[in-house]
Amino acid sequence: MSIPDPAWSLGTDDDFVLEDDETFGVGELEGVDLVDLPPFDDSIAPVAANETHAPSPPPEEDPFTMSAPAIVAAALPTMLRDEGRVTEQPVPRITIHAVCDRHEIADVIAGISADRRMARAEITVEPGGIDAAVARFASQASPNLLIIDTLQQGAAMLHSLDRLAAVIEEGTKVVIIGAVNDIALFRELMARGVSEYIVPPIQPIDMIRTVCGLYVNPDKPFAGRVVAVIGARGGIGASTIAHNIAWSIAERQESSATLLDLDLSFGTAALDFNQDPPQSIADALMAPDRVDDVFLERVTTKQTQRLQMLTAPATLEREFELDPQSYEMVIERVRRTSPYVVLDLPHIWTSWVKHTLLAADDAIIVAGPDLASLRNTKNIIDLLKAMRPYDSPPTVVLSMVGVPKRPEIPFKDFAEALGCEPVASIPFDPQLFGMAANNGQMISEVAAQSKTALALDALAASLTGRKPVEAKKASFTDKIPFLKR
């Protein structure tokens, strides 16, 4: 049987000449007339592993995914958010195989398998570089993504890649981790359709973002940031804080947000916002396969121009024992329609609560200044740090601080025992919170200049990456809603 022509080939050695460019990346060239230089082409310059490209149209089908220069844009590592916040979409169920010349790169790739965004991927790592890949895939099926760490350079690398192209299956994406940051080599690899070329130093999060970017759905590339809020114990005000955060993101930060009340039996989102919707999030959870844009439009309650909600049914007529995958599917579909999705999680510990908390982009733990809250918060933080090693640590908010005649753990001692400092301390203010609850309003609508409102606005601003927006003073009619009618 004859060996098929490779998907791409170098041709003769004279077709490509690799020259070391020691001046690359150091600014303007001294003693060179820039007018005499040829104009730059439309090729995309190489970037560091933790930088981003501008998006380009998706490439056409080709063997090895290696014929369209535009495929470099497929390596969009992250989706930029306002003021630098980023959201990486989890990769689908794919196989990733890495062949490495350097043991430190192999350790980085092996380590990313513990990340939540890579949970569906099957990752294998072996030494040997390009030669190991040629030997393996000459006799077995190719992976969905092949990561090549090689010390080869120039023409030697390209000849080795030609041999690999002869045995690799069509549709395989390729990421190359090279040894030299060379513009000529980069352009040649992009012309051959390599998905991404990066050079060390590389951190695990850089590798995660690169891989996630390769599998962004071109039909629905947008994915909102998911913020999960959970109480360290019951009755600590976690739901109230979640609702106020969602409202502040929408109204203070002026960014569209969706609130999901996942406490199906005892959720209070409808009460807190003075709503009585005919449908609830349970309708979506019981039929996740039916959830699309039209379905979401039907079951979603629009609170303001920028804030919408999927409220809980809050009924005891039935017990909701749903598959954890149902929650995942609904949240995934909602985040395709909203820049920010705030989850109001119940104070229970089940497989779906654990999975939802681990899968969120940001986790907020609401605790009280008491021993039970301290113990539970510490346990949750330890779990999240262990199972989300490359994510930012969870945020802790102290709530109901200063209850009269109640012994409390001082803020400093609480932070020291926890190992991290809470980002906000919400005072015990029954009059303010009671008025807001009775009026179906948020704290900033009742008392925009109160310490509680300012703290919640600052927390929302930190989640969006924007600067806190100055709150407007509430008018007399804002404080008494029925006067607006």
CB-CB contact of 418 with 438 (8 Å): no
Q: Specify the DSSP class assigned to residue 345.
A: -
pLDDT given at position 187? 86
- Domains by residue range for the chain, with CATH: 13-21+36-214 (3.40.50.2300), 225-484 (3.40.50.300)
Q: Residue 213 contacts by C-beta under 8 Å, 6 or more apart in sequence?
A: 74, 75, 76, 77, 78, 88
Q: What is the pLDDT of residues 175-225, one digit of tens each?
A: 999 988 888 888 888 888 888 999 988 999 999 999 988 887 666 667 889
- 28 touches 34 (CB < 8 A): yes
- Report pLDDT digits (tens) over 356-380: 999 999 999 999 999 999 999 999 9
- 58 pLDDT above the threshold of 50: no
Spatial distance between the Cα atoms of 324 and 328, rounded to a whole number of angstroms: 7
| Residues near 404 by beta carbon (within 8 Å), at least 6 away in sequence | 428
- What's the whole-number average pLDDT of the chain? 81
pLDDT tens digits for range 306-337: 999 999 998 888 888 888 899 999 999 998 88
**Structure confidence at residue 476 (pLDDT):** 56
